[in-house]
Structure 1
Amino acid sequence: MFCVIAFIVLSILGIFSASNRQLAREALDCVLRRVTLRPCTTGFDEKMKAKILGYVITRSEAGARFLNRYFEPLSWAFFFLLIGSTFFAVRGFYLYYTTGSCNGLNQSGFCVFDPTGQNTQFSTVDESCPVVPGGSTTLTLEGIDISGFPKISGESAEPIVFIGSYGCDYSRKAYPMLRRLVQKYGVELIFLYYPVKEHSDYLAKIGYCAYQQDQAKFWNLTDRLFTTEKARLEDEAFITDLLSEVGFNAQSVQFCAKSPQTEWAIKRQLAEVRKTNFYGTPTVFIRGKVFVGPKPYRVYAIALEGLFYWLK
């Protein structure tokens, strides 16, 4: 098995060195002969063994004797280590590509492809922003009445459900990608607003009344709220001006937002959101999968259209 390890290592080194390319060819010949239960005709394994022992013996005679005695078993051990490490490396890359984390869907822990952990961060209901603490097995849409929430109609029978907050940095990263999915694939999007960063449900009331007044303009308003400065989200004067800019009757929307009926409707909607058992924003439901934290666009697209989403 030493030939296998040598072939892989020398093939990589051969990219930069002609001498290593020649050794890699000899290693390949040795590998092909070994897998057919024939000895190496080039003596490659003995030549490399002699080089290694020559290097080791100058530093430790006992180490050289040990290596010479157990060279074949050690070669097998390193071979299995190579196979194992390759498997976990490929697995980690696949999980990162499909879920945004080397450790699996919504799992924390160090990931070499995402060292900052930005794909697994979210805003919790107590306004802190830690890394995802665990899995998403308790998150559900079963028994949730989402009929009254804002939606963009689409052709898909199973909509994307997005729980987000205007003031959450992570929701702000996820929202444009979801809008892009809606535009490209014509899928239905349902927006469950939850005030994580804001200090009141004021914007929930504004959004509720705006949606009742004009659904198309509501989404223009939402686009603006997800991109405006967070410090201005609690400024009622700014919100009033923004409503007018988007095309709403600002006074009518503000009057609606202050009515007892709207307050009751918002309390009911927020209660429905909490039934999902969500623990932070953004939380996105796509075809039976739940994504907590702002995933790369490809992760959402794969969940929606499959691994080869770019071909569709």
Structure 2
Amino acid sequence: MTQHSGKNWLLISLGIAQAVLLLVLLYSIYQVNAGLADLNRTLTLFMQSGSAGPGNKIKVSLGDELPYMGVKDAKVVMTILSDFECDYCREFAQRILPKLKSEYVDKGKLKIIFKDLPLPMHKNALMAAEAASCAHEQGRFWNMHDYLFANQGKFGLEFFTQWAASAQLDTQKYGQCMAEHRYIKPIENSIIEATSAGIQGTPAIIVNGQLTMGTKPYAYFAQLIDSQLDGGVAQR
């Protein structure tokens, strides 16, 4: 083999290697996109399930990995199933949640847990749920929660990344978390669990198992919590 033909063979080998790497990359992208497509189908499928009525007893998983505020062993547990593009969820987050925090959470009476329920008609809600989960990974969920509800209509990957930088998160880790869609499966599980229980809309507020659909005046939730504090059984 001549020196010239050896160089040609080397170039051909490098070309083949690059082509293989490109195929691997394209396949990886395809797998991620396929996963997202499957999730969108799951969203549509489960949103067709039966609805749960107000006051129904609902049981949802309350793992320690979920974002929460308050003491772990509070007698009353409120679980919020929410969508970051939902107007009523924003109303609850901005008008009701701060009062609940100051009057009950900060006094050790209430634990509030957040669970994702992005609705299929909100095109950026799923991405926002991922963004908040990636922030939670670095201990900044509630900061991101408040920022998202204060900036509905601006969602996008650049928006989330800029927030991560301004919040002094590790932007490399945050970017990897978003690129890998690391929390797609937990979000999907939350959707399936909620919709299997007949919950179709947001916000869905569960207080010691008792379901309330939609936002209500603060006095409604205060009375509900007080009734559980007076005679309810502590949740675990």
Q: TM-score range by the shorter chain?
A: 0.5 to 0.7
Spell out, residue by residue over 1:249-308, the C-alpha distance to the aligned partner (whole angstroms, 9 max, x if none): 23321211222653333322332332332121111112343211110111011101149x
Q: Which residue of 2 aligns with 1:204?
A: 129
User: Partner of 1:191 in structure 2?
Assistant: 114
Q: CA 1:306/1:239 → structure 2, altered by over 3 Å: closer, same or farther?
A: same
Counterpart in the other structure of 2:39: none
CA-to-aligned-CA distance 1:62-86 (integer Å, 9 cap, x gap): xxxxxxxxxxxxxxxxxxxxxxxxx
Q: 2:226 matched to 1:305?
A: yes
When residues 260 and 227 of structure 1 are mapped into structure 2, their CA distance, relative to the original with a 3 A threshold, is closer
Contact (CA 8 Å) 1:160, 1:287: kept in 2 or not? yes
Rounded Cα–Cα distance in structure 2 between residues aligned with 1:303 and 1:212 = 32
C-alpha separation in 2, matches of 1:149 and 1:194: 13
Pairing partner for 1:145 from 58, 61, 71: 61
Q: Distance in 1 between matches of 2:91 and 2:182?
A: 33
Matches within 5 A, 1:228-307: 228=151, 230-233=152-155, 235-259=156-180, 261-306=182-227
Structure 1: tracts of 5 or more residues without a match: 1-124, 127-132
* Mapped partners of 2:190, 2:179: distance in 1: 16
Which secondary structure state, in structure 1, belongs to the residue aligned with residue 137 of structure 2? helix
Corresponding residue pairs, total = 172
CA contact (8 A) 1:195 1:204 kept: yes
What's the offset of the Cα at 1:178? 2.3
Structure-2 residue corresponding to 1:162: 80
Which digits, 9 at most, give the CA deviation of each residue in 1:32-88, with x for residues without a partner?
xxxxxxxxxxxxxxxxxxxxxxxxxxxxxxxxxxxxxxxxxxxxxxxxxxxxxxxxx
Check conservation: 1:139, 1:278, Cα contact below 8 A: no
Q: What is the deviation of 1:173?
A: 0.9
2: CA distance, partners of 1:193 / 1:303: 23
Structure 2, unmatched stretches of 5+, are 1-42, 45-50, 231-236
**Secondary structure, counterpart of 2:183 in structure 1:** helix
Where does structure 1 differ by over 3 angstroms across 4 or more consecutive aligned residues?
none
8 Å Cα contact 1:158-1:287 kept in structure 2: yes
State the alpha-carbon separation in 2 of the partners of residues 156 and 262 from structure 1: 27
Q: 2:147 aligns with which of 203, 224, 229?
A: 224
Trace 1:38-53 onto structure 2 (pairs within 5 A): none
Q: Is the 8 A contact 2:130 2:181 kept in 1?
A: no
**Which amino acid in structure 2 is aligned with residue 145 of structure 1?**
S
After TM superposition, list the pairs within 5 Å mapping 1:17-36 onto structure 2.
none
Give the alignment of 1:33-112 within 5 angstroms. Answer: none
Q: Which residue of the other structure, out of 155, 170, 178, is the alignment partner of 2:97?
A: 178
Q: CA deviation at 1:191?
A: 0.7
1:150–1:164: structure 2 CA closer, same or farther, 3 Å change rule?
Answer: same
Write out per-residue CA displacement over residues 112-144 of structure 1, whole angstroms, 9 at most, x where no aligned residue: xxxxxxxxxxxxx88xxxxxx983365612xx3
Counterpart CA distance in 2 for 1:163 and 1:150 is: 12
**Structure-2 change in CA distance of 1:204 and 1:297 (3 Å):** same
CA gap of 1:264–1:306, structure 2 versus 1, over 3 A, is: closer
In 2, Cα distance between the equivalents of 1:238 and 1:260? Answer: 17
Cα 1:295–1:246 change in 2 (3 A) is: same
Instruction: Measure, in 2, the Cα distance between the counterparts of 1:261 and 1:295.
Output: 34
**Mean CA deviation greater in 269-278 or 179-188:** 269-278
